[in-house]
Amino acid sequence: MTLQRAQFQETSEEKIIRIFTNTSGALLLAVTLALVISLRAGVMLVLPQDPIFQISLRTLYWIFAGFGFTAALVCLFSQKTKLKALLVLWLTLNLAVYALGVQWDKPNEAFSAYLSSVADAFNITPNTAFWMAKGICLYLLIGSSAVLLFEGWIYPSRNKKYLAESFKMACPGCGLHIRFARQNLGQQIPCPQCQKTITLHKPDLLKMSCFFCQEHIEFPSHAIGEKISCPHCKMDITLTEPS
């Protein structure tokens, strides 16, 4: 049978992560639209060629817009938190490395000049566009790193603690196994599978006799069908519902 964890109100950490991934998707979508608008507006680029990849800045803008749009869709519609954070981190790190490369290649040239077409399209100064882009990149970089830290280290250790302090019961309607935290004992929830209202309680213990030694064995109802070693004679038996 399937095991599902009872769903309750999301934790504050999960809420913050959801807000971050949603705002990341919105920011990336806004940046993508800004790039496309500046390109479609036909504004002349101050620097016609990119010094790193040796391609036109117009082509580079389209490439950035494509990656940004893809990352925005993943952040807004994917259910995989790690994938969202990894994609955002990968994108921002690549932009940071590119910016450092440009500064290394042209140390006497202001990087804000690379955003002149976007600035002209929205009637702002290149320096303003530069600081806006820098702020967005820092937000995405720090936020995605924090999410990956939480998902990779903090959440797994907290999940182990949750499993140690939780109970598991079977839905009386459909038999679905549901795991829930100790503090949720006594709450009523709809079963995730059959939607029948159930009360969360400690699993009822069933009794059966070992087929070999005839000693009594107690076990929770959700363990029916599992194979165990008899605690008395150590023979392998299958837990069955008492007749």
Residue 44 is assigned to a structural domain of this protein: yes
Residues 135 and 227 in one domain: no
Last residue within a domain, chosen from 137, 162, 187: 162
Residues 195 and 231 in one domain: no
Residue 6 is assigned to a structural domain of this protein: no
Residues 19 and 81 in one domain: yes
Q: What is the pLDDT of residue 3?
A: 43
Last residue within a domain, chosen from 162, 188, 221: 162
Q: What is the pLDDT of residue 1?
A: 38
Residues 28 and 122 in one domain: yes
Residue 19 is assigned to a structural domain of this protein: yes
Q: What is the pLDDT of residue 2?
A: 41
Q: Name the pTM for this structure.
A: 0.59
Residues 94 and 214 in one domain: no
Residues 84 and 176 in one domain: no
Domain with 209 in it: 205-238
Q: How far apart are the first and last CA of the chain?
A: 21
One DSSP character per residue, the chain reads --EEEPP-SPPHHHHHHHHHHHHHHHHHHHHHHHHHHHHHTTPPPSS-B-TTT-SBHHHHHHHHHHHHHHHHHHHHH---HHHHHHHHHHHHHHHHHHHHHHHHH-TTS-GGGGGHHHHHHTT--HHHHHHHHHHHHHHHHHHHHHHHHIIIIIHHHHHHHHHHTEEEEE-TTT--EEEEEGGGTT-EEE-TTT--EEE--PPPEEEEE-TTT--EEEEEGGGTT-EEE-TTT--EEE-----
Residues 60 and 92 in one domain: yes
Residues 103 and 185 in one domain: no
CA distance 238 to 243: 14
Residues 224 and 190 in one domain: no
Q: Collect the ranges in the chain with pLDDT lower than 70.
A: 1-11, 42-48, 106-113, 153-166, 204, 221-222, 242-243
Number of independent structural domains in the chain = 3
